[in-house]
Structure 1
Amino acid sequence: GAHYDHIGTANADGEDTIANGANDNASGTSAVIELAKYFAKAKTNKRSIIFALFSAEELGLLGSAHLAERLKTTSINPYVMFNIEMIGVPMTDKDYTVYLTGYENSNMAQKFNGYAGAKVMGFLPQAKQFNLFKRSDNYAFYAQFKIPAQTVSTFDFTNFDHYHKVGDEAAAMNFDHVAKVVNQLIPGVEGMTNSVTHEILWNE
């Protein structure tokens, strides 16, 4: 999942007041769409995958909460929820590509990296400091199902100056980086969909 809404307008930069949200979170929605295209063609997943794009994340996770509540009334029993948020620019001086919110609360990073054969996910102290686990659409699914529901991101509070500003434009995105993230996520997602048992466990 990923959210496609942004904040609408913000303080003007020249005559521009429209906050387009290229990083937050067109980058994430683009990744979800690319993953959906990949799995629709490759058909390598044994488990079913729901690809979801949410509105009203910025208003308080309203779109994801609605879907989570609806799923709770069905026979669907989600294994994990994997959310993608702000992957438009790379981090520097890190030995991993994306950080995982709620890193210490599950073994998702370790299992994912094992599936990928690379250190794709890592721990960012600021993510814990600012409790980012509860600040994106993953949290709505944790609240309903108490499953490993976590977000990956590359926004580390130092590498992007346009958070919730009108400067969050496509021109500020590193498209090679976004493509790298998507390509590195594919084998990990495949691993999650194909394991014989539920290997990713919540340990809070």
Structure 2
Amino acid sequence: MRITIFFIAICLLASCKTDLKNLEPVKGNMKADVVYLASDDLQGRETGTSYELQAADYIAKRMKESGLEPKGNAGTYFQTFSFKPSSDPHQEAAFTDEKGDAFLTGTNVLGYIDNGAAQTVVIGAHYDHLGMGGEGSLHREGEAVHNGADDNASGVAVMLDLAYELKTSEKKGNNYLFMAFSGEEMGLLGSNYFTKNPTIALDSITYMINMDMVGRLNEEKTLAVYGTGTSPRWNQIINAVNKDFNLALNESGVGPSDHTSFYLNDIPVLHFFTGQHEDYHKPGDDADKLNYEGMQQISDYILRITAEFDNAGKLAFRKTKNESEEVPRFKVGLGVVPDYLFTGKGMRIDGISEEKPAQKAGLMKGDIVVKLGDSTIVDMMSYMRTLATFDNGDKTKVTVDRDGKMVEKEIEF
């Protein structure tokens, strides 16, 4: 039987009669949170399904355990929104008040720590995923459960860990709104809807922190932090409190995750990300592949950042360049997965696609492309600009750094 949002809301509304201010917060277990959210029983948490609602119910209960107040609609932890999915990937889905088979309902989950402060920090992570596959999946062998352990049960688990830590913290200079977003995989729908229908005043939000795919910290401990240019105060603090990571910093406030919705409303943002991998948007993104020690280090790092801004007043906002608008159009592809966390010179290959130019030329995972044709490759952008100059059927030379040795191969696109 389909679980209705009304039933869940009524049940949780009744349970919230407990005095949350006197509730002793319960510290959770990030691995347990991921194992539950990424279990086969939840069938990939696709937006608008009963499985997503089961996940929403779990997250709301965990928020309550940490002593968070409900901050959704009608005194519940839930904020629902209806929309008509778009079949055009370049067109946004439209929100609507209509009901029917042509429409879906997403459910944001919101919990609040009211410290009586003037400013509120939003800490969020999307919890929806791809269900059994479909559009967005990179799996080509029929339907299968896409559990989404890294994407993004990992971010939700870190968010819930931060909820407990900040509820029990002695630092009370900000309020905190924790949000598990629905509809991210369909186009940042939940975060977009919230910024258009906020349950707190948008102008009270001092900054927003987003975690999306933070479960696979690599051996180099490279952590990507996006949005560092959205406030003039970010860079100094995120570097000063860093104890564990090789940081890959990016200034832009625009990216393919929920922080973008807040940046577009002139709110400083930070987005944390441990990198893409071969299980991205595939059934193999399972709980046993996550680096839970790394997730704890990320949670502790974010906690140190929030502590630095506890009595800092409202952060100044700064617009950044939209780097996604500068990405050139490609007529050909090399057939590799770039390592987006690589901070050295060149473009490091993180994966090779079967029967594509890179594999046929003998390139390997870990190779660092330092020259393509006549162009020197110094970073990801120079690689993309150079690749965009080639047409189908072109031949050229590619030079890679393979374990310190320069190797030259011939590529045919």
**Same-fold call, TM > 0.5?**
yes
TM-score of the superposed pair, with normalisation by structure 2? 0.42
**Unpaired runs of 5+ in structure 2?**
1-123, 134-138, 321-413
Q: For the structure 1 residues 203 and 86, does the alpha-carbon distance in structure 2 shift closer, same or farther, using more than 3 Å as the test? A: same
Q: CA deviation at 1:9?
A: 1.7
The match for 1:8 is: 131
| Conserved 8 A contact 2:227-2:268 | no
SS in 1 for 2:197: helix
Q: For the structure 1 residues 75 and 176, does the alpha-carbon distance in structure 2 shift closer, same or farther, using more than 3 Å as the test? A: closer
The match for 1:22 is: 149
Alpha-carbon separation, structure 2, partners of 1:200 and 1:187:
19
Alpha-carbon separation, structure 1, partners of 2:227 and 2:284:
29
Instruction: Output one character per residue of 1:160-195: Cα deviation in whole Å (capped at 9) or x when no partner.
Output: 210000000001111111112112221112222x13
The match for 1:154 is: 274
Paired residues for 1:24-173 under 5 Å = 24-71=151-198, 74=201, 76-93=203-220, 97-107=222-232, 108-114=234-240, 116=241, 118=243, 122-124=247-249, 133-143=254-264, 145-155=265-275, 157=276, 160-173=277-290
The match for 1:202 is: 318
| Bigger Rg, which one | 2
Give the structure with the larger strand fraction: 2
| Conserved 8 A contact 1:113-1:121 | no
2:305 aligns with one of 162, 166, 188: 188
| Conserved 8 A contact 1:133-1:150 | no
| Conserved 8 A contact 1:112-1:189 | no
Q: CA deviation at 1:132?
A: 8.3
Q: CA deviation at 1:16?
A: 7.5
SS in 1 for 2:204: coil
Q: For the structure 1 residues 79 and 109, does the alpha-carbon distance in structure 2 shift closer, same or farther, using more than 3 Å as the test? A: same
Alpha-carbon separation, structure 2, partners of 1:180 and 1:73:
30
Amino acid at match of 1:112: I
| Conserved 8 A contact 2:230-2:253 | no
Q: CA deviation at 1:104?
A: 3.8
Alpha-carbon separation, structure 2, partners of 1:109 and 1:37:
26
| Conserved 8 A contact 2:130-2:146 | yes
**Unpaired runs of 5+ in structure 1?**
none
Q: CA deviation at 1:102?
A: 3.1
Q: CA deviation at 1:41?
A: 1.3
Alpha-carbon separation, structure 2, partners of 1:50 and 1:38:
13
Aligned-residue CA RMSD (Å): 2.7
Alpha-carbon separation, structure 1, partners of 2:155 and 2:208:
14
Instruction: Output one character per residue of 1:55-106: Cα deviation in whole Å (capped at 9) or x when no partner.
Output: 1100000111111112288365211111011111113446xx5211233444
Amino acid at match of 2:167: A
Alpha-carbon separation, structure 1, partners of 2:190 and 2:235:
26
Instruction: Output one character per residue of 1:19-71: Cα deviation in whole Å (capped at 9) or x when no partner.
Output: 01000000000000000011111242311111111011000001111111122
Single out whichever of 179-188 and 19-28 deviates more from structure 2.
Answer: 179-188
Q: CA deviation at 1:133?
A: 3.1
Q: CA deviation at 1:110?
A: 2.6
SS in 2 for 1:42: coil
Q: For the structure 1 residues 75 and 50, does the alpha-carbon distance in structure 2 shift closer, same or farther, using more than 3 Å as the test? A: same
Q: For the structure 1 residues 23 and 73, does the alpha-carbon distance in structure 2 shift closer, same or farther, using more than 3 Å as the test? A: closer
